[in-house]
Structure 1
Amino acid sequence: MLSGTFLVNLDVFIVVVAMPALQHGLRATAGDQQLVLAGYQLVYGLGLIAGGRLGDAFGCFRVFGAGMAVFTAASIACGLAPSAAVLVAARLAQGAGSALVVPQVYLAAQALFPDEEERRGAFAATGAVIGVGAVSGQLLGGWLLAADVAGLGWRAVFLVNVPVGGAALALLPWAAATHRLRCKALVDTLGAGRVDPVGTVLAAGSLGLFTVPLVSGRERAYPSWSLLCLAGSLVLAVGFLRYERTLRARGGAPLLPPELLRVPCFRRGLVLVALLNCGLNAFVLVLGLLLQQGLGWGPLATGAGMLPSAGAFAVASLLAPRLLRRVADRRLLCLAAVVASVGYAGCMVSTSFGSVLWLLVALGVTGAGLGLFVTPVLAVSLRTVPPEDSGAASGVVSTVQQLGAALGVCGFGAVFFALIEAGAPHLRAFAVTTAGIALTAVAAGVLAVFLPRTAASLRPVPSGRVPAIGHTPPDHGS
């Protein structure tokens, strides 16, 4: 299952490294390049909630297999694309496959590991693989382009997905047969085929109108249509929530069960997820720009420069479950916020003095703090969810991850580029932007203080019997 998490994150970063070669090889215009990068993430983000609900309806292994098959086939199409238009279409198909794959990883973690400590280990492994995928994208992409494997050039960055996807599909029947009994209850709860097509269309429309201006508005100086899209997104979101409440009242299976949003820990967990990904993805963006444009490093050297941060992220993710045996979730989240903030401050100071060595040290500290966030954030967000809505909740968490990432990249990226255009050196622009990014870690730490004190207050509640906002049953405590 983690192969899906690896490939999805790998494909976000590996394509960035290959863009100059792709531009030369296919004569891709600036618009084509933007669609290759942003189109993948856009379709990926739009389909996550629906992908999670399909996992509820048909089972995580079936939907994972379908998504991995789509992703692998699309990767072949990308690698063989004769023109930029074909490449863009194949990248959109890759995004659709990713939207089916990613929610099933979180759903499988809940279904296969009912024990709380084992589940934390699954979430920790997921966080570690996210870090490995990120750094592999930079390093592997740079190496494939430098080595020109089999004379494939930029095509190798897409075809490298095929062996991993093929191996996952080959092992899937064994995994499904081994663990079918544990996952069967999730399918039986809702019944196969109970999906919400109207809700899916409304949600996709709302998310699309929200993310398109964020993805492409900056290059066009945020024209009037981008504001209209944001306003239309709000209208569709309100309509979507009303429709979902009506469908649930009629006994249907909504794409987003309304009672999920009445679970306090789930709501707060979503905010933490958004803050984490907002800061993380923005930081990766400005760091890559600093290393390549500011310091003049090549793709392979840039990937190596990101290794301290990504490596520390992966190691900290794996250590988090052990720390949770000794400290509460909210204390670990506060500790993670402090470590990440210290790392961000170190990056600011080191770049202000132009010290590359201390910058690499600070990157390691930052990565460690961000890695400590992953396990407790996912645990807090998902363990209060009723089992029959696990897939929907996983899709919501994944969607919030993408929206947080889009907001961070667009917002902090705009600050960075504005400083560069105003004549600021890359080192100073990086330091100022990192100061703003550090606020996401501080805000996450403050929010973590107000999480419930005991694990007892986080026990899952039956669907349809979720306590109202601000009310907790007396026997649960707080």
Structure 2
Amino acid sequence: MRPWAALVVLLCGTFLANLDVFIVVVAMPALEADLGADGGQQQLVLAGYQLVYALGLAVGGRLGDALGSLRVFGAGLAVFTAASAACGAAPSTAFLVVARLFQGAGTAFMVPQVYRAAQTLFTGRAQRRAYAAIGAVMGLGAIGGQLLGGWLLSADTLGLGWRAVFLVNVPVGVLALTVLPWAAGGHRTAVPRGPVRADLPGAGLAAAALGLFVVPLVASGTGGMVWWGPACLVASVPVAACFLRHERALDARGGSPLVPPALLKLDGFRRGIAVIVLVNCGLSAYVLMLGLLLQTGLHWSPLDTGAGMVPAAVAFAAGSLLAPRLARGAEPRLLALAAFAATAGYAACAVSALGADTGRLLGTVCAVGAALGLCVTPALSVTLRTVPGGIAGAASGVVSTAQQLGAALGVCVFGFVFFAQVRITADVVGAFAVTTAALTTTSAAAGVLACGLPRAAGSPARTEDRAGAPEPRDLPM
């Protein structure tokens, strides 16, 4: 096993997964012109991927526990790469929507394995560096998506047009799949102890609860809540209660629940999940609103819009990589300070937009990027470090699901605020200012919660696997 080489391969998949959430945004006008996709179909192209991504993450994490992280990652990356090729060759919008759903399924298998590998393959300072790398790559994928999409559309290589934003995944995916056996060191996965029992009822109940919660938000789009949305949101509560009851009963019988009840008994894990949801809620909404401001409000081209986000991407990556050095075992304190700094940054960004000072606006955008970058790594570290190794994959799936649900919630809720302001005032800059000011609630709440997170000393995860060696079944291929 070559741990750092394996992590690099896993990070390639993580980068593609987050890239594809945002890269498609700039391709919507070209997609409409070429395939005649209407507003509803465009919404499905954008949201279908993220919806399946979120719904499948807990299952993907549990499969990593049962079959090994790298093996499940390889299967997910193969599905994602094939689906990307299908997206690029799509003859119709309906075909593209289905291919995007398969992309989301592949991503749901890939992403939890990255967190699980960081926890099971590394300890101490190396583990913190691994989390920093994950946070930086995720941020670069999210913020760099519109830059790469704008560049691909402007270059129009081989006359591919919008298809290039999907086909760019294929060579990266093939290369990662080729390198994966070498990174695994030629090891073979040991046969799991006992039969692998998938929690299919739990997976169904989890998908139903998450679907009832997320689908109305996605379907609402920019026109307000659909008429059946409130009923679905209300129904998600008893379905979620049934899911938790099923998981407790299965655990009591000695089964393998999708979300082990032991996770929910960890106060640090519960609080950390709430922080992760809030941070990602603000981050994803901010990136999309910023893109709308630059393209629609300031009339920048897609390429210029992406280029304008580069400083924020660099600041985000630098913050993620610098966080382990700054934390030095005090991640909750750093997380709280960074969250409050992001709150001040959001407020300053809103004021700068109203002042029509582009230079000051880009400066505040960088400040927000750096503050959010400092949030991501400590949030991941402090949430996962108290989780026992045997349920690390399940915990990773829950964390990944929380990230995507937070992102979906942020885009839907704050997107609704933004477009409502645009309809009322016809002022995109003013709408951006109002929405960005509202984003301060997410980071401020995250800062308050972070103050109660546990410190690193004596964490069970650190003492359980001091050598940092992976379990035999974690060595795939």
> TM class by shorter-chain length?
over 0.9
Who is 1:129 aligned against? 137
- Structure 2 counterpart of 1:11, which letter? D
Aligned mate of 2:389, from 387, 390, 395:
387
- Report the secondary structure of 1:296's partner residue: coil
Alignment of 1:365-376 (within 5 A): 365-376=367-378
Aligned mate of 2:168, from 160, 168, 191:
160
Tell me by how many angstroms 1:192 deviates: 5.8
Gap change, CA 1:221 and 1:440, over 3 Å in 2 = closer
82-91 or 334-343: bigger deviation: 334-343
Distance 2:452 2:57 in 1: 28
Instruction: Spell out, residue by residue over 1:431-469, the C-alpha distance to the aligned partner (whole angstroms, 9 max, x if none).
Output: 1111110121111111111223x4225333999xxxxxx
Distance 2:350 2:261 in 1: 42
Distance 1:272 1:333 in 2: 9
- Structure 1 counterpart of 2:260, which letter? P
Who is 2:468 aligned against? none
Gap change, CA 1:162 and 1:191, over 3 Å in 2 = farther
Tell me by how many angstroms 1:425 deviates: 1.7
Distance 1:23 1:84 in 2: 9
Who is 2:66 aligned against? 57
- Report the secondary structure of 1:460's partner residue: helix
Instruction: Spell out, residue by residue over 1:266-322, the C-alpha distance to the aligned partner (whole angstroms, 9 max, x if none).
Output: 001001100100110111111111111100111101101111211100111011111
Instruction: Spell out, residue by residue over 1:373-413, the C-alpha distance to the aligned partner (whole angstroms, 9 max, x if none).
Output: 11110111111111110000000000011111111111111
Aligned mate of 2:435, from 433, 436, 439:
433
Distance 1:166 1:222 in 2: 41
Who is 1:144 aligned against? 152
Who is 1:451 aligned against? 453
Instruction: Spell out, residue by residue over 1:411-442, the C-alpha distance to the aligned partner (whole angstroms, 9 max, x if none).
Output: 11111111111115222111111111012111
Which structure 2 segments of 5+ residues have no match?
A: 1-9, 465-477
Instruction: Spell out, residue by residue over 1:172-222, the C-alpha distance to the aligned partner (whole angstroms, 9 max, x if none).
Output: 1112236x59x97xx85x656232111011101111111000101244532
Alignment of 1:139-218 (within 5 A): 139-177=147-185, 180=187, 188=192, 191=194, 193-218=196-221
Are residues 1:23 and 2:32 paired? yes
Tell me by how many angstroms 1:336 deviates: 0.6
Alignment of 1:152-301 (within 5 A): 152-177=160-185, 180=187, 188=192, 191=194, 193-219=196-222, 221-301=224-304
Gap change, CA 1:191 and 1:364, over 3 Å in 2 = farther
Tell me by how many angstroms 1:55 deviates: 0.5
8 Å contact from structure 2 (residues 83, 102) kept in 1: yes
Instruction: Spell out, residue by residue over 1:115-145, the C-alpha distance to the aligned partner (whole angstroms, 9 max, x if none).
Output: 2211110110011111221233112111111
Aligned mate of 1:66, from 71, 75, 86:
75
Who is 2:7 aligned against? none
Normalization by structure 2: what TM-score? 0.92
- Structure 2 counterpart of 1:10, which letter? L
Distance 1:160 1:192 in 2: 39
Gap change, CA 1:461 and 1:164, over 3 Å in 2 = closer
Distance 1:38 1:198 in 2: 25
- Structure 2 counterpart of 1:133, which letter? G
Who is 1:343 aligned against? 345
- Report the secondary structure of 2:425's partner residue: coil
8 Å contact from structure 1 (residues 58, 192) kept in 2: no
Residues paired across the two proteins, number:
455
Instruction: Spell out, residue by residue over 1:128-177, the C-alpha distance to the aligned partner (whole angstroms, 9 max, x if none).
Output: 11122123311211111111101111111100000110011001111223
Who is 2:5 aligned against? none
RCO higher in 1 or 2 (8 Å CA, sep ≥ 6)?
A: 2
Gap change, CA 1:393 and 1:19, over 3 Å in 2 = same
- Structure 2 counterpart of 1:168, which letter? A
Distance 1:352 1:60 in 2: 48
- Report the secondary structure of 2:268's partner residue: helix
Who is 2:364 aligned against? 362
Who is 1:472 aligned against? none
Gap change, CA 1:398 and 1:152, over 3 Å in 2 = same
Normalization by structure 1: what TM-score? 0.92
- Structure 2 counterpart of 1:348, which letter? A
- Pairwise CA RMSD of aligned residues? 1.7
Who is 1:468 aligned against? none
Distance 2:443 2:213 in 1: 24
Gap change, CA 1:159 and 1:57, over 3 Å in 2 = same
Who is 1:408 aligned against? 410
- Structure 1 counterpart of 2:181, which letter? P
Tell me by how many angstroms 1:5 deviates: 0.8
Are residues 1:76 and 2:85 paired? yes
Distance 1:116 1:192 in 2: 33
8 Å contact from structure 2 (residues 16, 141) kept in 1: yes
269-278 or 339-348: bigger deviation: 339-348
Distance 2:407 2:85 in 1: 27
Distance 2:449 2:235 in 1: 30
Tell me by how many angstroms 1:230 deviates: 1.2
Distance 2:344 2:173 in 1: 38
8 Å contact from structure 1 (residues 128, 314) kept in 2: yes
8 Å contact from structure 2 (residues 57, 397) kept in 1: yes
Tell me by how many angstroms 1:349 deviates: 1.6
Aligned mate of 1:2, from 5, 8, 11:
11
Who is 1:37 aligned against? 46
8 Å contact from structure 1 (residues 342, 365) kept in 2: no
Tell me by how many angstroms 1:331 deviates: 1.3
Which structure 1 segments of 5+ residues have no match?
A: 464-478
8 Å contact from structure 1 (residues 320, 372) kept in 2: yes
8 Å contact from structure 1 (residues 385, 461) kept in 2: no
- Report the secondary structure of 1:177's partner residue: coil
- Report the secondary structure of 1:455's partner residue: coil
Tell me by how many angstroms 1:9 deviates: 1.0
